[in-house]
């Protein structure tokens, strides 16, 4: 299937590494103008360079913290200045935060809510009017399979990701009459910038951690960021015009829930 995003403008948060960078490159090589959003300037510069190497349109790199309303507004304003519009929003930012209930502080929980739920809500609210006006829009919220099947000691991540799934469904209902589709992609075990961090947290070498992650996955391996990006690219294309309000597992079949 030949997917063209020519003439579309995409805003991708958490875009400097891993899944975000893979999506930025995939969208850019499909013809979209792309704004890459991240906090770290050094990684952002490298991501911009890598994306420009395959791009067919404009590429903008914007350093900002989307955990605040001011940060979201800055991202939106800078993207509009660089690209002129936003047709596609991918909310991908957010690290894995988890702790047993005895160690789960209000500050940890609030930080996760701000970076994930509120950022998704605020950015969607900012891009919504122009999508309605043009009667075309695509929003993807990148979540986790724990949104459907949480396990012990995974709050706040499981809770905020479940909230993101509910928000996806709500916005899909509101966006439908205006030709705005809203979907969620639920990450399982995929090779990304988060894996070395999780391996260190688990006290394992990266290779051993990846092998453990593959256990229980029907495909017998963890996914690649490019495989995830391919699905995202399809969802934001014209070919996916009748898909909205869904939460799709991208996990090699690992989740016990469909």
pLDDT by residue (tens digit) across 208-218?
Answer: 999 999 988 99
Residue pair 35/24 in contact by the 8 Å Cβ criterion: no
Percentage above 90 pLDDT, the chain: 91
- The model's pLDDT over 99-120, given as tens digits with 9 standing for 90+, comes to 999 999 999 999 999 999 999 9
Point out the least confidently predicted range of 156-165, 198-207, 235-244.
Answer: 198-207
The yes-or-no verdict on residue 255 having pLDDT over 90 is: yes
3-state secondary structure of 142: strand
Predicted confidence band of residue 201 (pLDDT cuts 50, 70, 90) = confident
pLDDT of residue 80: 98
List domains and CATH numbers for the chain.
Answer: 9-193+224-250 (3.40.50.720)
- The model's pLDDT over 56-88, given as tens digits with 9 standing for 90+, comes to 999 999 999 999 999 999 999 999 999 999 999
The yes-or-no verdict on residue 43 having pLDDT over 90 is: yes
The Cα 193–Cα 38 span in angstroms is 13
- The more confident residue out of 94 and 56 is 56
Phi-psi region of 220 (alpha: psi -120 to 50; beta: other; left: phi over 0): left
Predicted confidence band of residue 199 (pLDDT cuts 50, 70, 90) = confident
3-state secondary structure of 105: coil
pLDDT of residue 45: 97
CB neighbours of 70 closer than 8 A, spacing ≥ 6? none
Rounded to two decimals, the pTM is 0.96
Q: Phi and psi for 119 in degrees, rounded to 5?
A: -65, -45
pLDDT of residue 216: 84
pLDDT of residue 196: 86
pLDDT of residue 52: 98
- The model's pLDDT over 148-159, given as tens digits with 9 standing for 90+, comes to 999 999 999 999
The yes-or-no verdict on residue 50 having pLDDT over 90 is: yes
């Amino acid at each position: 299937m030949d997917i063209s995003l020519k003439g579309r403008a995409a805003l991708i948060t958490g875009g400097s590494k891993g899944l975000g960078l893979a999506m930025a490159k995939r969208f850019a090589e499909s013809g979209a103008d792309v704004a890459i959003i991240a906090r770290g300037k050094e990684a952002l510069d490298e991501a911009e360079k890598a994306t420009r190497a395959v791009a067919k349109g404009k590429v903008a790199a914007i350093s900002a913290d989307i955990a605040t309303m001011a940060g979201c507004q800055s991202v939106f304003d800078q993207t509009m200045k660089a690209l002129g519009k936003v047709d596609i929003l991918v909310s991908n930012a957010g690290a894995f935060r988890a702790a047993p209930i005895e160690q789960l502080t209000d500050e940890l929980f609030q930080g996760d809510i701000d970076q994930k739920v509120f950022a998704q809500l605020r950015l969607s609210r900012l891009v919504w009017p122009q999508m309605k006006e043009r009667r075309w829009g695509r929003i993807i919220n990148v979540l986790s399979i724990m949104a459907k099947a949480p396990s012990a000691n995974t709050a706040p991540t499981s809770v905020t990701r479940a909230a993101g799934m509910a928000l996806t469904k709500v916005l899909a209902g509101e966006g439908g009459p205006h030709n705005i589709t809203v979907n969620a992609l639920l990450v399982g075990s995929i090779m990304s910038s988060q894996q070395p961090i999780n391996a260190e947290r688990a006290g394992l070498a990266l290779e051993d951690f990846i092998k453990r992650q593959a256990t229980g996955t029907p495909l017998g391996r963890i996914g690649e960021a490019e495989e995830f990006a391919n699905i995202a690219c399809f969802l934001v294309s014209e070919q996916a015009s009748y898909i909205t309000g869904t939460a799709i597992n991208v996990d090699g079949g690992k989740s016990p829930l469909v």
